[in-house]
Amino acid sequence: MRTPVRRALSLFLDAMSSRVASFWVIGAWIALALVWLVPFQLTGQPEATLRGIGNDWLPFRAAHWALVATSAVCGLARLGKDLGRLRLKRSAGRPLPLEPMDSCVGDLEAAQAALGRMGFAVSRLEDRVTGVQRRWSLLSGSLFHLGVPLLAAGLVAHAATAGSIQFRLIEGQSSDVPLAGLAAGEGDWEALPSSAASLTLETLEPSFFQDVLLFERLAATVVEEGTGRTRGFSLSSPLWLDPFTLMSVQDFGYAPRIQLLSPSGEVVEEVIAAAALFPPGSLDRVRLPGHGYTVSMVVYPDHARMGGRDVSASYNLRNPKVLMGVERTFPSGVVEGRRLVSVGETLGVSGMDVRVAEMRRFGVLRVWRSYGWPLLALAGVMMTAGLGCRTLLPARHVVVWRHGEGLGVLARVDGRPGRAAGLPLAREVGRRISDGASGKGAGT
């Protein structure tokens, strides 16, 4: 019984760790993506469908985990080898190269001195001198490959711990209220995390480019109630509430402060409501529940007259006017009034006056948290650093041995197989040895 299990395990490890594994695993991932994902993306399938395929469909899951497994096994296998390669004198007992890339005059002492001057870690053996430069770069391949399973671990941690909530906060309003009171949007929390639960939205500044629907700015500031500290953030630059929780502003809208005034001018009822009045032309209604009035509004944030009609010349709140309608149903019938008014201007209905005293804004804020991001960031740094070292600062190896009347030189650059990469280095080393032997390069 043990033998088949061992054999299966051995086969599995071979398939995972051999160089072949990466080919079929990567090939399978590519084939799956091209055949069973990209066509759905190109035909405009909803994001939830695509997520269902890419994240949850069994063949894709298998492909993701195979990719992670093969990277992990390769990374670990490489780590052992690379650590071994860090040791000098590893070439003891190995056969000497047959053909040098370059020949030079001198002896092994001159070679040792020249390589030392060039910054190589030198190892002197009976029949050769070996040198390696940027030895630490030998670990770059392992670093990159081990970054992949760490990335996967980070994604798993993120999926297990992530949470978010979207809610509306009007300028001047505090988040220190039950979430339901903030007209909560989508999200998977029932209450705000403590770091987000005592903030007051101080300002919200949306601005648009010229007269087109192109957001140039959507910045907000909040005041922390405990410390009184003001902190700014925007869509692209979220606010770190704590090391794992972020907040950003996703969208905005208008929140008119509507007042009902008695004939003597006294405010008898006031409502500030986050209304769906953006983009210009959108109609929304707000109720004044105390007196039974309903106020309908269309906001022209940058009012102008064009072609005999009221329009907004831009999306910016420069010259706001409101097409306001007010109605109330009495037992004797419906009273109503409708007029274009400026902010602060009143509209009289059945002896009472209604006005938009102020046009505030509300922000659609998102707070989210992930405990997986540090792992993901570390994985990203490992992968980039590994590849960066290998590409930009690869380890360089040189072997110098007695060859004919002089010395033979062979050089190799890590990650660049073939003679072409090592040839310029071999020539440089040969020249330095010759110069050193003839006394020209001494001290350089």
Partner 1 sequence: MRAAFEVSLAVYSTGVIVLCVLLLWAVARGPLAWSRWVCRAVAVLGTLAVALRWAAAGHIPMFGTFENTLLASVFLAWAAVVTSLRRDSAGAWGWAAPWSLALLLYGAFFRREPLPLTISEQSLWVEAHAIFAWVAFAGFLAATSVSVPRLLGRPAWGMTPEASDDAIGSWLNVGFLAMTAMILTGAWYLYLLFAEFWRWDVVGTLSMVAWLAYALVIHARLFYSLSGRGLAAAVVSVLPLLLLALWIWSVFPGTYHHFEITLIRPY
As a whole number of angstroms, the distance between CA 394 and CA 396 comes to 6
Closest separation between CB of residue 113 and partner 1, Å? Answer: 28
With vertex at residue 50, the alpha carbon angle to CA 246 and CA 167, rounded to the nearest 5 degrees, is 30
Per CB under 8 A, the list member of 75, 100, 149, 280 interacting with partner 1 is: 280
> How many CB atoms lie under 10 A from the CB of residue 149?
19
248 binds partner 1 (CB under 8 A): yes
Give whole-number Cα distances, 279 to 276, 315, 390, 406, in Å: 8, 7, 52, 83
Tell me which residue of 357, 351, 350, 355 sits closest to 295, measured CA to CA: 355
Task: Give me the sheet containing 396-403, strands edge to edge.
Answer: 102-104, 406-413, 396-403, 128-133, 121-124
Instruction: Write each residue from 296 to 325 as x if it is in contact with partner 1 (CB under 8 A), else as -, in one continuous string.
Output: ------x-x-x----xxxxx----------
Nearer of residues 218 and 260 to partner 1, judged by Cβ: 218
Nearer of residues 35 and 334 to partner 1, judged by Cβ: 35
Residues 183-212 that bind partner 1 (CB under 8 A): 209, 211-212
Closest separation between CB of residue 322 and partner 1, Å? Answer: 15
Per CB under 8 A, the list member of 90, 217, 287, 440 interacting with partner 1 is: 217
Nearer of residues 98 and 306 to partner 1, judged by Cβ: 306
Per CB under 8 A, the list member of 9, 30, 83, 177 interacting with partner 1 is: 30
Closest separation between CB of residue 311 and partner 1, Å? Answer: 4
Please say whether the beta carbons of 211 and 314 come within 8 A: yes
Residues 376-435 that bind partner 1 (CB under 8 A): 376-377, 380, 383-384, 387-388, 390-392, 415-421
Stretch that binds partner 1, among 24-32, 112-120, 131-139, 324-332 (CB under 8 A): 24-32
Nearer of residues 122 and 379 to partner 1, judged by Cβ: 379
Stretch that binds partner 1, among 2-10, 85-93, 125-133, 370-378 (CB under 8 A): 370-378
As a whole number of angstroms, the distance between CA 197 and CA 226 comes to 11
Please say whether the beta carbons of 107 and 47 come within 8 A: no
Tell me which residue of 210, 203, 204 sits closest to 315, measured CA to CA: 210
Per CB under 8 A, the list member of 35, 214, 308, 330 interacting with partner 1 is: 214
DSSP 218-278: EEEEEEETTT--EEEEESSS-EEEETTEEEEEEEEEEEEEEEEE-TTS-EEEEEE--B---
Closest separation between CB of residue 218 and partner 1, Å? Answer: 5
